[in-house]
Structure 1
């Protein structure tokens, strides 16, 4: 089932034929020993993805939003305090979600396109007695990547749990739960994600990794305000997928196993370099057309870019013309709506996808009466990509 369109939005991302073939496999009973073996293998590779050797991983039917809920609901009790470190629209969703569970929420908000100052986070944590802090690794509204080297120590000095939203980052940027950020105690406590972005699998799976301190936070509570999202109900299943709690999405697990096999076989370090090179190269190529990223290169994400339009380019017309050519990109949100577009460069995409994308952008600008050096843009993309691999 070849992809008929060039789907370059913040997610879902293009799906490799081998993953489609796995998804289309004959549905087995969820207790079938053959399926149990597939599920176990998927869970083991999920642990490898996050280097989560002393915690637990959870893979359940749902979306990234469910992953957020699982992460917050199981670690922060009603009345306790959560700090949201926000680099954009999707970071802010933690605030609404947490308030639904009666959690007290404070927010540190960066200007869109900028980083939150780690020193401000450290000061806030020292004063606020927070149970946990959320950080969105890549905010898909702004294309800003969080600086974990600065933020993890800033949070962990206070003893708060560090909850990382990896929805637009996992399998493209390092999220190593054994990594020590300057101190043996300064590690990621929760990483949450979904299947449909850099992992390259269709939407449908909520994926969450809990470290020892996050598991202890749930164990210390008698109950939580949930049933399906309560990790205590899922731990026996994740340790033995032959047991039953709720019917797993059998075919999605087939696809997930194949997707993770592709990730692991490519090699995590190689995959991280490829994504970093693609991000830099896409932004460099589009810059030839006078299209500037919202985020400076120092804070720009490897997985997605928010690109400001040159003067006089109509957003709806531009994206509509590209869609007619088979290339799909996303509009921007909030105050950037109509002023910028968002382009994903993550998952199982390759160099040729973006050579074609940059050509189509140039052709579309020409059709709209704008000057565009298509060959120059393609050459710049190739130069930067090859120079950063």
Structure 2
């Protein structure tokens, strides 16, 4: 990679040369048949990623825009939305929905813990909820939601299941035709952004709507949005040669290449690689006395929130890593200063994390904290190659 630093935050993630090359290709007109072919290919690959028999939407914007598109096209003002939150980004659905006059109720887990399905079932029994949002991996905590439990709980209650896959798509299975105990128990909406496990620079909002979610949009007379109304985008997603709003041509080039790389690796192999990488990174860091916030059974393959050993200064530690060319993220809210967040997804490689563990160990030693680098690297390597 031509990257000068190891960008190991929860996103954006490292970008490989093939994607940079695609991004820097000559800009064609947005109706040029050559561009239309690339756009159509990227949409076809996105449908394969989510295995949807509905429709996908790829537009200029961020994951937050994708969240808005998912909500306003399925839940009308005055209807009820249940937010299941495992952290900061799960909570983001609350003000977003309220901004559009949607009634919001919330189940919030203690940071580092799971929402239990019994609590969800009890809550859903108490009210007529149109939809439920679940963040597959919360970027603030590194907690991975248990879809095997949550999808049936939500679908039994007759609500739409909206999955925030921003920090999961292309690293963890999000199959919209997979059934969870009953043929009708499937995911209705998945949303994500380009800059996480897909490994493309930030700039694209990506949303997949299944048949029930598309029907929900049809049942809403007017949504409180124009750019975010999927009805305005649907003709373009079916025929990218049509015009509604100018697409980000070069970002579509990059996204198409990123999706080609995802599919070339193979989804099942990609999911196995991410699962092994997450476990291995956490195991290596634990050798240094660092403790992941999430118990391993519910820890995400894509990023980890890691508590510092006693006496490590957060700002100094991350500054020293950055001086060595390794960038990680601070923790959020009550964990700020007590933990850091490290991404291990997308185009990140084994060699990167061997180097990362060496840099972390050297930095800890410099700061007066004993760190056995050889042991940490050996533990990482053993677990990564056991997949």
- TM-score bin (small chain): over 0.9
Q: Provide the residue aligned with 2:308 in structure 1.
A: 309
C-alpha displacement of 1:382: 0.3
Q: Provide the residue aligned with 1:327 in structure 2.
A: 326
Q: Provide the residue aligned with 1:82 in structure 2.
A: 81
Q: In 2, Cα distance between the equivalents of 1:107 and 1:221?
A: 23
Q: Provide the residue aligned with 1:46 in structure 2.
A: 46
Q: In 2, Cα distance between the equivalents of 1:212 and 1:328?
A: 41
Q: Provide the residue aligned with 2:219 in structure 1.
A: 220
Q: In 2, Cα distance between the equivalents of 1:119 and 1:214?
A: 25
Q: In 1, Cα distance between the equivalents of 2:117 and 2:16?
A: 38
Q: In 2, Cα distance between the equivalents of 1:128 and 1:383?
A: 49
C-alpha displacement of 1:123: 1.4
C-alpha displacement of 1:321: 0.1
Q: In 2, Cα distance between the equivalents of 1:107 and 1:340?
A: 26
C-alpha displacement of 1:98: 0.2
Is residue 2:108 matched to residue 1:101?
Answer: no
> Unpaired segments of 5 or more residues in structure 2?
none
Q: Provide the residue aligned with 2:124 in structure 1.
A: 125
Q: Provide the residue aligned with 2:259 in structure 1.
A: 260
Q: Provide the residue aligned with 1:26 in structure 2.
A: 26
Q: In 2, Cα distance between the equivalents of 1:256 and 1:335?
A: 35
Q: In 2, Cα distance between the equivalents of 1:276 and 1:122?
A: 29
- How many residues are matched? 387
Q: In 2, Cα distance between the equivalents of 1:129 and 1:362?
A: 52
1:61-82 deviation per Cα after TM superposition (whole angstroms, max 9, x unaligned): 0000000000001000100000
Q: Provide the residue aligned with 1:180 in structure 2.
A: 179
TM-score by length of 1: 0.99
Q: In 1, Cα distance between the equivalents of 2:125 and 2:268?
A: 35
C-alpha displacement of 1:233: 0.2
Is residue 2:292 matched to residue 1:293?
Answer: yes
TM-score by length of 2: 1.00
The alignment yields a C-alpha RMSD, in angstroms, of 0.5
> Unpaired segments of 5 or more residues in structure 1?
none
Secondary structure of 2:105's match?
strand
Q: In 2, Cα distance between the equivalents of 1:366 and 1:39?
A: 49
After the TM superposition, which segments of 4 or more aligned residues of structure 1 sit over 4 Å from their partners? Answer: none
Secondary structure of 2:298's match?
coil
1:293-312 deviation per Cα after TM superposition (whole angstroms, max 9, x unaligned): 00000110000000000000
C-alpha displacement of 1:49: 0.3
1:103-147 deviation per Cα after TM superposition (whole angstroms, max 9, x unaligned): 000000101001000111011112211000000000000000000
